[in-house]
């Protein structure tokens, strides 16, 4: 038989013991904690919720507690929090709250919230955005779409929005019913624009647009206003990376003027609302239209000026035409006379130096010829005297003779054989002899 415990408590006693322990612990009162809101609901003047803590790696809930803001405190928290953060006190927000723990035997532990720090909520959202933007910057893609310029004209618009959203309706009404009757080609790529599916849905729409990007000038991601927490889906790294690297310029018009998402910092153009996005596109088209009209007016004025000047020139020519041939002939005759006179003067002026030079050359030639002739005669006379002095006849006249055998001169007596017949030429006559 089992032994009976020496001391046994009832459930109520144990609950009261826990209640007393928590009430007696000073660390359980007026403590600041951070948590995520879940299942926030108002009931009468009070606000009820659950506070969660999730694992930052897996997202799994690792702590949970019920919490209450009683009516006298809730009135002082609800509207100041919304004014400070731009969003209601709602599920999904990360908050810093001052709590006091209490334990009830019937309802268990509950955290009574007495104060909320709105700056923490703002800081958490801003911290997340800064982390995403810093990551995009480190990857070198943060400015890729921002540096794109909207084409001119920008008339083919791919729209990423929810078909039934009021913001999409306002955009289409403003765009298609513009006062200038400009024609835009618009197609909706339907996407979820609120909740956990925002990122995947918008990325899928962008992928569809990218497959036919040659058909579009730009992309508009638009969504109407609402609670700021409704826009949390746009503060997502994967969506931001897709927008930053998208091959077409993206216009972002999400929420109200006070609302900001990561996409606003990385898109080619950010506007306040969907209506403002339509106004921007209409304004750009009007600027192009005015530029074309200005160019047309400038071309018309230029053509008018050219035609007017041509008419004046034609009228002047028409007035001058009857007398123009006679004046032209007279002018030609004058030019011919002037040319003849100039030619005569030029010829005279050019010939005078040449004539003087020819005269000088003729005189020099005469003098040179006479000198050369005299020298030639003197040379001939000297040569004649020398020739006469050296001629055979002159040698013979001085007592010399020439002995020949068979017509050849004899220069060596030993070469003459006895009995040879020789012929001796004298200054006067010849002798024939036989050698003995």
- On whether residue 310 sits in a domain, the answer given is no
pLDDT attached to residue 4 = 62
* Residues recorded for the chain: 436
CB 112 within 8 A of CB 233: no
- In angstroms, rounded to a whole number, what is the distance separating the alpha carbons of residues 241 and 215? 23
pLDDT attached to residue 305 = 84
The radius of gyration computed from the CA coordinates of the chain, to the nearest angstrom, equals 63
Last residue of a domain, one of 254, 288, 322: 288
pLDDT attached to residue 205 = 95
CB 97 within 8 A of CB 32: yes
Q: What percent of the chain has pLDDT over 90?
A: 33
pLDDT at 38 over 80: yes
The per-residue pLDDT for range 303-326, each reduced to its tens digit, is 888 888 888 888 777 777 777 777
pLDDT at 229 over 70: no
pLDDT at 1 over 60: no
Does 141 lie in the same domain as 92? no
Does 92 lie in the same domain as 218? no
Last residue of a domain, one of 288, 318, 347: 288
- On whether residue 188 sits in a domain, the answer given is yes
Does 170 lie in the same domain as 110? no
- Say how many domains are in the chain: 3
pLDDT at 261 over 90: no
pLDDT at 249 over 70: yes
Does 255 lie in the same domain as 181? yes
Edge-to-edge strand order for the sheet containing 421-425?
A: 408-409, 402-405, 421-425, 430-434
Return all residues near 77 (Cβ < 8 A) that are at least 6 apart. Answer: 69, 89, 113, 115, 116
pLDDT bin (cut points 50, 70, 90) of residue 47 is very high
Of residues 347 and 425, more confidence is placed in: 425
**Strands of 132-258, DSSP E:** 156-161, 185-190, 218-223, 250-254
pLDDT attached to residue 41 = 93
Does 242 lie in the same domain as 145? yes
Q: Could you say which DSSP state residue 5 is in? A: P
pLDDT bin (cut points 50, 70, 90) of residue 83 is confident
pLDDT at 71 over 80: yes
pLDDT attached to residue 82 = 86
Domain range enclosing 60: 11-116
Does 270 lie in the same domain as 174? yes
* Average pLDDT of the segment spanning 167-178: 90
* Average pLDDT of the segment spanning 127-133: 84
pLDDT at 181 over 60: yes
pLDDT attached to residue 191 = 93
pLDDT attached to residue 216 = 95
pLDDT attached to residue 230 = 63
**Strands of 202-303, DSSP E:** 218-223, 250-254, 269-270
What is the SS3 assignment for 254?
strand
pLDDT at 285 over 60: yes
CB 247 within 8 A of CB 107: no
pLDDT attached to residue 303 = 86
Torsion of CA 125, 139, 257, 164, to 10 degrees: -90
Structure tokens at 316: 């002047």
* Average pLDDT of the segment spanning 377-383: 86
CB 84 within 8 A of CB 118: yes
- On whether residue 424 sits in a domain, the answer given is yes
Does 193 lie in the same domain as 141? yes
Average pLDDT of the chain is 86
- In angstroms, rounded to a whole number, what is the distance separating the alpha carbons of residues 158 and 127? 32
pLDDT at 179 over 70: yes
* Average pLDDT of the segment spanning 336-360: 81
Does 39 lie in the same domain as 16? yes
Q: At what angle do helices 71-85 and 118-138 cross, to 10 degrees?
A: 30
pLDDT bin (cut points 50, 70, 90) of residue 193 is confident
CATH code (residue 110)? 2.40.50.140
Q: What percent of the chain has pLDDT over 70?
A: 96
CB 228 within 8 A of CB 87: yes
- In angstroms, rounded to a whole number, what is the distance separating the alpha carbons of residues 310 and 304? 10
Q: Enumerate the H helices of 321-419 as residue ranges.
A: 324-390, 392-397
If 0-12 CB within 10 Å is exposed, 13-18 middle and 19+ buried, where does residue 29 land?
A: middle
- In angstroms, rounded to a whole number, what is the distance separating the alpha carbons of residues 14 and 383? 172
* Average pLDDT of the segment spanning 117-139: 83
- In angstroms, rounded to a whole number, what is the distance separating the alpha carbons of residues 286 and 299? 20
Does 268 lie in the same domain as 178? yes
Q: Which run of H or E residues covers position 25? A: none
- On whether residue 75 sits in a domain, the answer given is yes
pLDDT at 219 over 80: yes
- In angstroms, rounded to a whole number, what is the distance separating the alpha carbons of residues 153 and 281? 9
pLDDT attached to residue 195 = 77
pLDDT attached to residue 392 = 76
* Average pLDDT of the segment spanning 261-270: 90
For residue 240, CA distances in Å to 145, 385, 435 come to: 11, 129, 149
Q: Could you say which DSSP state residue 135 is in? A: H
Residue 153, preceding peptide bond in cis (omega within 30° of 0): yes
């Amino acid at each position: 038989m089992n032994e009976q415990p020496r001391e046994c408590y009832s459930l109520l006693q144990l609950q009261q013991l826990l209640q007393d322990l928590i009430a007696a612990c000073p660390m359980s009162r007026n403590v600041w904690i951070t948590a995520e809101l879940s299942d926030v609901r108002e009931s009468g003047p009070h606000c009820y919720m659950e506070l969660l803590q999730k694992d930052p790696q897996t997202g799994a809930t690792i702590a949970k507690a019920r919490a209450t803001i009683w009516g006298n405190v809730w009135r002082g928290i609800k509207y100041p929090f919304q004014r400070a953060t731009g969003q209601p006190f709602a599920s999904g927000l990360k908050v810093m709250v001052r709590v006091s723990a209490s334990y009830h035997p019937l309802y268990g532990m509950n955290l009574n919230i007495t104060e909320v720090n709105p700056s923490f909520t703002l800081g958490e959202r801003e911290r997340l955005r800064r982390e995403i933007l810093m990551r995009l910057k480190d990857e070198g893609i943060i400015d890729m779409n921002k540096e794109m310029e909207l084409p001119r004209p920008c008339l083919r618009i791919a729209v990423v929005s929810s078909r039934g959203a009021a913001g999409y309706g306002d955009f289409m009404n403003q765009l298609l019913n513009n006062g200038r009757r400009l024609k835009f080609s618009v197609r909706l790529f339907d996407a979820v624009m609120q909740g956990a599916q925002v990122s995947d849905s918008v990325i899928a729409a962008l992928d569809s647009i990218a497959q036919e990007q040659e058909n579009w000038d730009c992309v508009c991601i638009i969504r109407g206003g609402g609670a700021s927490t409704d826009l949390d889906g746009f503060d997502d790294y994967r969506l931001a990376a897709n927008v930053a690297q998208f091959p077409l310029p993206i216009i972002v018009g999400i929420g109200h003027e006070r609302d900001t998402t990561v996409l606003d910092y990385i898109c080619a153009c950010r506007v306040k609302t969907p209506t403002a996005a339509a106004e921007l596109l209409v304004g750009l088209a009007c600027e192009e239209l005015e530029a074309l009209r200005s160019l047309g007016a400038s071309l018309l004025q230029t053509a008018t000026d050219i035609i007017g000047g041509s008419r004046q020139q034609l009228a002047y020519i028409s007035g001058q035409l009857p007398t123009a041939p006679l004046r032209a002939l007279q002018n030609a005759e004058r030019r011919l006379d002037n040319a003849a006179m100039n030619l005569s003067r030029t010829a005279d002026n050019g010939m005078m130096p040449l004539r003087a030079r020819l005269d000088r050359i003729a005189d020099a030639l005469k003098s040179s010829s006479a000198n050369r002739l005299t020298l030639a005669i003197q040379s001939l006379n000297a040569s004649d005297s020398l020739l006469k002095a050296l001629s055979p006849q002159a040698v013979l006249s001085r007592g010399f003779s020439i002995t020949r055998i068979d017509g050849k001169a004899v220069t060596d007596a030993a070469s003459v054989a006895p009995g040879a017949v020789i012929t001796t030429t004298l200054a006067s006559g010849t002798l024939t002899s036989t050698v003995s």
